[in-house]
A and B are shown apart, each in its own frame.
Chain A
Amino acid sequence: MTNISRRGLLGGAAALGAASALPGVAFGADYPSRPVQVIVPWGAGGGTDATGRIIASILEKQLGQPFNVVNRTGGSGVVGHSAIANAKPDGYTIGLITVEITMMHYAGLTDLTPANYTPLGMVNADSPGVTVSAKAPYKNIKDLADAIKSSKPGALKASGTGQGGIWHLALIGWLRAMGLEANHVTWVPSEGAAPAMQDLVAGGVDIVTASLPEARAMTDAGRAVSLATMGSAREGLFPDLPTLKESIGVEYSLETWRGLAGPKGMPTDVAATLEEAVAAVYNSSDYQEFMKGRGFGLRYMDASAYGTFMERADKSMGETMKAAGLAR
């Protein structure tokens, strides 16, 4: 009895598998035939959310089906990234994955790595900046770098995000490139860039390494001054700010990035349709203008380039985090 029912079950399962494989082959042609969910692992109102929403609205126009943005927040991005990776790989759940996917598995928060996704294209990259209070004595990045080098370890404090967050790694990378210890400047964890900027202006910390657009409200109000970008080149919206290399000769740059991806194992034709659509979104004037308006960096990579990029970024992130003692 049990044997028969088990065999029946197995047969059923096999049939089910075959049945589900069939439309998988067929539906590439008419994909998408129903609404698509776009998961954003960060909160509504933030930069990733804004990027996700503009992309979804343009995809909707292009592919003729609703693309609904769903915020799955919390756990430093783990919740949303898991939701994307664990979705059915049929192209009806995709998401915006961010640089944190190369970080959180080293921090021991999840097992997910870039290998758990089908990359569809990178759409944005931003660099950390170096911002100090308007009341601080540093006139330029060289003043600050000298002050850091001559300071006692732990005397200066920096902030911008949580412990082991991307802006923290930016600080560590910069310090190490100057031949200093990773904790030469103490990191003060904060819940994002805005509270860190507030603390900077109030005199609680000395340096904020958040991105330049994030520091903009305070620099525009004349309460803080950005001194440099940690990107590999000057940024479009901030042409006067030098890179570390050209100003103080330090070979260091870092970028955060966002890109579209689906769960691993998506049908190739569906992935190809989406990749093409993402490229078109990136090149649309709506997207370009939106990103420039918000001060977000524009950067595109096609699916395979994005995949290789993530693999490389994952390795180097691991090295930095281990060196900084942030890997668990």
Chain B
Amino acid sequence: MSDVLLQALTLVLDPYVLLVVLVSGAFGMFVGALPGLTATMATALLVPITFFMDPVPALAAIVTASSMAIFAGDIPGAILRMPGTPASAAYVEDSFRLGRKGELNLALGIGVVGSAIGGLFGVALLIFAAPLLAEFALNFTSFEFFWLAALGLSCAIFIASDRPLKAFVALLIGLGAATIGLDPAAGAPRFTFGSTELLAGVPFIPAMIGLFAISEVLRGVWKISSAPRVGETPKVEGSIFGKAAPMLWRYRLNVLRGSTLGSLIGALPGAGADIAAWMSYAVSKRFSKQPEQYGQGHAEGLVDASAANNSAVGGSWIPALVFGIPGDSVTAIVIGVLYMKGMNPGPTVFLQNPQLIYAVFVIFILANLIMVPLGWVAIRVAGRILRVPSGILFPLIMTLCVVGAFAMTNSVYGIIVMLSFGVLGWFLEENGVPIGPIILGLVIGPLFERMFMTSMIKADGELLAFFERPMAAALGVLVVLIWSLAAIRALRLSGAWLLTRR
């Protein structure tokens, strides 16, 4: 164990890896601080570059960039009332109003320090829970994995979205696209129309780049002429940490509560930093002595939620590493990268490459520590970042996208997939359909199908076998419960609707 830890430390404390952490940290800050560009997009754009790296620097880049982007989303939220990433949307009113009161330094100070503490908390949970869970999951067969995949898909609809029906539509699109290619059980080609490229299925990283980056570029192009130019932005004055530290101490229990809730929500398949922020903000308001202050520039909810969204980053790695089921859309990409680097996620990852996994843990800690100084710099230069003209930004993103998609398949096929999904993503988002579930469908779908087929073959077609093993039965009941609750709620709603109609 200490031997593995030492190996992990040597892997991380390498000048090249440290440089990667620094550069990708700055990159994550930049992308996160730009309104509309999400942490997922920062990760998706990094993947093609990590393609040429060893596993440890590759994962270091992703871990650092996604952590930084989640914090940096607070910056334009406080300055312009435009959250940089969806994860900062929950408390944008409070941080913006604090800024208007001339306390921009307090709002962003809470953001950066709260994020770092929350992030470290999430990592702690990851470090302690993941190996234990993996040991436990070593006894999982296809039956348990089938239910886990079902649970992931269900969470994607019912927990991660306030619009279950639209999320369901998006999920079905993802699941549908996942059926293209060779079927996982018999190896028969499906929907390939004789094309060799389609035989490989829909490569999900190009699809992801399309959904999260191209769609944003398209939206940007639409708005480019009408959008008001960001003029002079208010300057961040005064000490950033001086005021935030006492405030965080005053609300130390909120930090703890936000971090706990955030990392647990992150660990749920399908729910990530944005849900964590919304939920913990709501919980904070519910238990506060001054709930009427929320949304008026009150720091309390800010403390809870900015700790929560960063703790979710660490938490979301738990199901990704242990089960190969993504905790959110960032870890969906991570799973792809793990496969590319030959570190197949699943309970065996701790047996096969323990030093690499511990290296990831070390990097997580490092990234959250470095967040404080990097965040300080980002806050100081925020005005300049926000004034980068979109005429420069979008072509740059577009270039990165095309290069990235090509690198994934080494052919034009990747670019075609990226562009198709880009248009699709843009169209869906314009119509209020969330795109996150598409990615979850693409990643979990094949696992779901494979585990179902494998289980059926093992059980000689006996459906009851899905409930025979105790753990499988427990998971199965949980899934059935989630669906029944949703069905009951839907029935009640339609019942109420009928009553009002009558």
Contacts and interface: CB of A to CB of B under 8 A. Distances in A.
A187 B454 CA distance: 9
A197 B347 CA distance: 11
Nearest to B347: A198
B392 interface: no
A76 B185 CA distance: 12
A45 B348 contact: no
Interface residues on A, range: 35 or more
A188 interface: yes
Given A74-B200, A109-B199, A199 B342 contact: no
A194 B143 CA distance: 17
B89 interface: no
B460 A154 contact: yes
B343 interface: yes
A75 B196 contact: yes
B138 A223 contact: yes
Contacts of B377: none
A79 B341 contact: no
B182 A76 contact: yes
Contacts of A198: 138, 140, 346-348
Nearest 3 pairs of A and B residues by beta carbon: A74-B200, A45-B342, A204-B141
A298 interface: no
Nearest to B460: A154
Contacts of B460: 154, 186
B430 to A, nearest CB: 31
A57 interface: no
Given A71-B410, A192-B344, 17 more contacts: A50-B342, A74-B203, A75-B201, A76-B182, A76-B199, A78-B196, A79-B196, A154-B460, A164-B187, A186-B458, A188-B454, A189-B457, A190-B454, A194-B344, A201-B139, A204-B141, A223-B138
A110 B187 CA distance: 13
B350 to A, nearest CB: 10
A191 B184 contact: yes
A46 interface: yes
B181 interface: yes
Contacts of A157: 457-458
A45 B351 contact: no
Interface residues on B, range: 35 or more
Nearest to B192: A75
B474 to A, nearest CB: 16
A97 interface: no
Interface string B450-473: 100110011010000000000000
A180 interface: no
B296 interface: no
B102 interface: no
A327 to B, nearest CB: 12
A50 B185 CA distance: 27
Contacts of A82: 196
Contact of A221 (B181, B185, B351, B457): B351
Interface in B154-185: 181-182, 184-185
A299 B186 CA distance: 31
A187 B342 CA distance: 25
Nearest to B186: A163
Contact of B453 (A49, A189, A199, A203): A189
B352 interface: yes
B4 to A, nearest CB: 13
